[in-house]
Structure 1
Amino acid sequence: MSSIFHDEPEESAVDQDMPEAWPQDDGGTAGQGNPPLVDLRDVTRTVLLPDDEQLHILRGIDLQIRVGDHTAIVGRSGCGKSTLLNILGLLDSPTTGTMAFEGRPVAKLGNNARAKMRGASIGFVFQQFNLLPGRSALENVMTPLMYGTAKEFWQRNKIAMDMLDRVGLAARAATQPHMLSGGEQQRVAIARALVRRPRLILADEPTGALDVETGQAVMDLLDTIATESGAALVTITHDLNVAARARTRYRLDTGVLSMDASAEPDLVAVGA
């Protein structure tokens, strides 16, 4: 089976317009040879309501994600999971606290630099697939390559086909999303998220729109490709079965992050 993950890496599109690296201070782990890919320190997120009252969504988040990690963040709806994912994905900024990505302080990045870093280094997998209607599976997977390096742009058809082959959908390359099953659509979404070989994969309720059996197959695929590529995988979920697959688990509750989320009466594992 073909794979795009063994090609020689190309110079990153984010190498330009980047501030100097943040000095590493990772709680004594620097000597372990695996410094944080993402490093959040005392991060908060607050929004101002119409009555001038402040809504505290995230409170003092400390989180380090390293290359090769598989981390799950579990919490109820409205606990701040999506806000945390947006910050990890460089779609939003902390109100206070600091964040570094690949050793670079995010607060010093301009909008263009953040967009380049996000496109080159982060892949998103969502619950609702978010595939482009009227476009084939191949065209959907090729979309991120339109904004990549020159090599990615000119070889976009081959790279996208290799990725579809990797997720077992090469024979469905010409098929539009509405003709695909839910599991097939999610595999196309995974192929699109991984086609530029990101270092960080953010999966937001990736099995939420799937039945249990299909969801397990999708998570098997996501785990396998993340491991093969050496990427860090962060899964945001309310499903304890999905969270149990991760090596590191957190619980997010009213904006407070704590280690090792565990089953509680109001967080029943799907299918249990």
Structure 2
Amino acid sequence: MDTSNSQETLVSLRSVTRSVTLPDEKQLHILRGIDLEVLSGDHIAIVGRSGCGKSTLLNLLGLLDVPTSGELEFMGQPAQRLSSNARARLRGSTVGFVFQQFNLLPGRSALDNVITPLFYAKGKDFWRRRELAMDMLDRVGLSARANTMPNMLSGGEQQRVAIARALVRRPRLILADEPTGALDVETGQAVMALLDTVATETAAALVTITHDTNVAALARACYRLDSGVLSPLARAEAGAHS
């Protein structure tokens, strides 16, 4: 598809619900009738209180889960028709996750952590994996800490390593779950600027789940998730509802 003059739809959710069965066999309805379209180049922020379903929505967007009902298409493919292995392959080649808890491998250096996703790459990216990982560590200002173990890094440094790992394969879709939660304001702003820059360079979509009003204000589209219902917000409103 030629996207030089148009945006490609990466993820489309139509009337999506997600429910789980509790031990007493009652249904817990987490998401209710979600409609959302994520296009290449989008920068979307989703705000909402704890327990409103934000992480569940992120898991659906990243193919970690499938809807209970409704339609979810990922790059034109119906998610419910894909096997778990097919979803994993598509997720691994297309999605970069930035988690609040970092999820770094404790026995591996910062460089080794960033290299890890490139073991699944093909062709020149696989053979250049060390170079690509070092380049991305340099982008986040940590090339001098490449051989440092995670337990010797500050919280902010660990988050930047996690971001470098998420971006090293140049994903089409970047999903960031509270990416500035462990950072001071200045470092958080730098991290979001980096995420936005890399997304812009590659025409990737960036979807950020956040409580941070400053982070939400950077997005070009804001949504509020409340009791499983998603609704659009003007950017000026995001702070008042997060």
Provide the TM-score with structure 2 as the length reference. 0.93
Aligned pair partner of 2:118 in 133, 145, 153 = 145
Distance in 2 (CA, whole Å) between partners of 1:125 and 1:168 is: 17
1:63-212 mapped onto 2 (5 Å cutoff): 63-212=36-185
Structure 1 counterpart of 2:51, which letter?
G
1:5 aligns to what? Answer: none
Do the aligned residues in 2 keep the contact of 1:73 with 1:234 (CA within 8 Å)?
yes
Q: Structure 1: which 5+ runs fail to align? A: 1-29, 268-272
Instruction: Compute the RMSD of aligned alpha carbons.
Output: 1.8
Aligned pair partner of 1:228 in 174, 179, 201 = 201
Structure 2 counterpart of 1:188, which letter?
V
1:130 Cα offset (Å) = 1.2
CA displacement 1:222-244 (0-9 Å, x = unmatched): 11222122210000112221111
Higher helix share: 2
Distance in 1 (CA, whole Å) between partners of 2:8 and 2:203 is: 14
**Match of 2:16, SS?**
strand
Distance in 2 (CA, whole Å) between partners of 1:120 and 1:56 is: 31
Structure 2 counterpart of 1:34, which letter?
Q
1:30-45 mapped onto 2 (5 Å cutoff): 33-45=6-18
1:169 Cα offset (Å) = 1.7
Structure 2 counterpart of 1:51, which letter?
D
Structure 1 counterpart of 2:72, which letter?
M
**Match of 2:46, SS?**
strand
Provide the TM-score with structure 1 as the length reference. 0.83
Q: Structure 2: which 5+ runs fail to align? A: none
1:66 Cα offset (Å) = 0.4
Structure 1 counterpart of 2:74, which letter?
F
2:189 aligns to what? Answer: 216
1:253-272 mapped onto 2 (5 Å cutoff): 253-260=226-233, 262-263=237-238, 267=242
Distance in 2 (CA, whole Å) between partners of 1:100 and 1:73 is: 19
